[in-house]
A = this chain, B = another copy of it.
Amino acid sequence: MEPLYQRLADHYRQAIRSGVLAPTARMPSVRNLVKLHQVSLSTALQACRRLEDDGLIEARPRSGYFVVKRKRATLPPIDEPETGKILDPASYVGIHDRVSDFIAKCEIHPTKFNFATAVATPDAYPTEALKQSMLRMVRRHPQLLTSSVPHGGHPCLQAALARRALDSGVNAAPDDILVTHGCIEALNLALRAVASPGDTIAVESPAYFGLLQILESLGMRALEIPTSPHTGISIEALDLAFQTHAGIKAVVAVPNLHNPLGSIMSDADKARLVALCEQQRVPLIEDDTYGALADGDERLRAAKAWDREGNVIYCASLHKTLAPGSRLGWLIGGRWKARIAMMKFVQSRPNEPLMQLAVADVLGAKAYDRHLVRLRGRLKAQRERMAQAIADYFPPGTRLSMPRGGMLLWVEMPDGRSSRQVFETALPLGIRVAPGRMFSNSDRYEHFLRVSCGADFTADVDAAVRMLGRIVAGKLP
């Protein structure tokens, strides 16, 4: 049980963190504190001094305490990976246990603060517009509920997606676009189209656990390529891998806002990556799920924009940008278009048309561009507040490279910290984080956490991050 003055100080610390008390705002006077909280004068004074010591407020002669304009505490960035060193051998993926363990434990404990799921809160998406479009489509095309679904995606959605793809430099005919059940099914189909069980797939390190699970379920081997938290996959290391590892059957990369790193490849590197894969005659599978969520208004270009040979299979989804509740993804199959279309037909048949129509309706509207601007701005703010809180509350030695978009932070804890331990300690307290161990087939990222900033940064969230910091510091339980 903390002493009274400290709880009073915490109360105002959170108000300041959460912005309820903005920088330069005046603190309630000491007398007011006494009245407001029924505490003694000395307790009120102690609390203020505590906040002053923490550099949160400052006394101005004869006018009381004010919230200081804090220059943001900055964390050292995560080290660049060593690209020269020998890679781990390609190995069969064994990630299911880690993920099942994660899912099972999450289901036991009710979650108050979900920092593990990589989506924004529902109110960050155009729920009403989607609802109205869905109602309109159901009223207009009820027979679609009871007519067998034609092959391929719905032409309306294909057209809308083709138009949106232009923004990222991808020029595809509507008919080139295959609608899938999320980016997950797209990646499944792409990998099944170009590789077989036992084959080696070059992936980024760290990598999205969903991709690693797919490789495991298909009996494929992962070769983890060093990847920079700033500039993405190392072309040098990949080039080296082609020379040292025979029979790499595909490269899977997330050039824009990598999950979990948040790295963004430069256009030059994207061009080099495409050229290298072409020259090696190895298909490049691109996951562009997050591309539309970069800060500012410039839409990042996809690596696919540099593809001249149909050697790039482009996969994306609307899950993060428009409708987490629709499982709509799509892919552009390049040279493998026909083969992938057949595999989609064999694996799950075409997607239901009504959701496609509703989403196409929303995608086609100007309002969607305004939504993206709002979403990007909101995620940027939440990301910065979260980074600030981590800087304030996590122990010394914590590292963080600030991404230029998206909703994910990849946090390196001081050496020796176990992401599994942090995860398991935080869960019963209602706090869910994604342990680094889920993002590699190795134990390389055991002391990392992926923290999602999809939720509003409230005072409660601030308190949760503070608690998380104490867990990381080993002060809890």
Contact = CB atoms under 8 A, between A and B. Distances in A.
Interface of A: 96, 99-100, 103, 107, 117, 119, 122-123, 125-128, 130-131, 134-135, 138-139, 142-149, 151, 181-182, 184-185, 188, 192, 196-197, 210, 213-214, 216-217, 219, 319, 323-327, 338, 342-343, 345-355
Contacts of A213: 345-346
Contact of A122 (B96, B103, B147, B192): B147
A184 B342 CA distance: 13
A196 to B, nearest CB: 7
Contact of A145 (B131, B214, B217): B131
Contacts of A348: 181-182, 184-185, 188, 327, 348
Contact of A138 (B138, B196, B323, B353): B138
B127 A146 contact: yes
- Report the copy number of this chain in the oligomer: 2
Contact of A196 (B210, B219, B351): B219
Q: Is the interface of A mostly helix, strand, loop or mixed?
A: helix
A134 B145 contact: yes
Contacts of A126: 146
A217 B343 contact: yes
Contact of A148 (B96, B119, B347): B119
Nearest to A142: B131
A146 B130 contact: yes
A325 B146 CA distance: 5
A112 to B, nearest CB: 16
A323 B149 CA distance: 10
B142 A347 contact: no
6 contacts: A99-B342, A100-B342, A131-B139, A181-B181, A326-B352, A352-B352
Nearest to A183: B349
Contacts of A134: 138, 145, 354
A130 B145 contact: yes
Given A138-B134, A139-B135, A147 B349 contact: no
A122 B143 contact: yes
A323 B142 CA distance: 11
A430 to B, nearest CB: 17
Contacts of A144: 325
Contacts of A138: 131, 134-135, 138
A184 B353 contact: no
Max chain B Cβ within 10 angstroms of own Cβ: one of A134, A148, A319: A148
A145 B137 CA distance: 14
Contacts of A192: 217
Contact of A184 (B147, B184, B349): B349
A13 B327 CA distance: 52
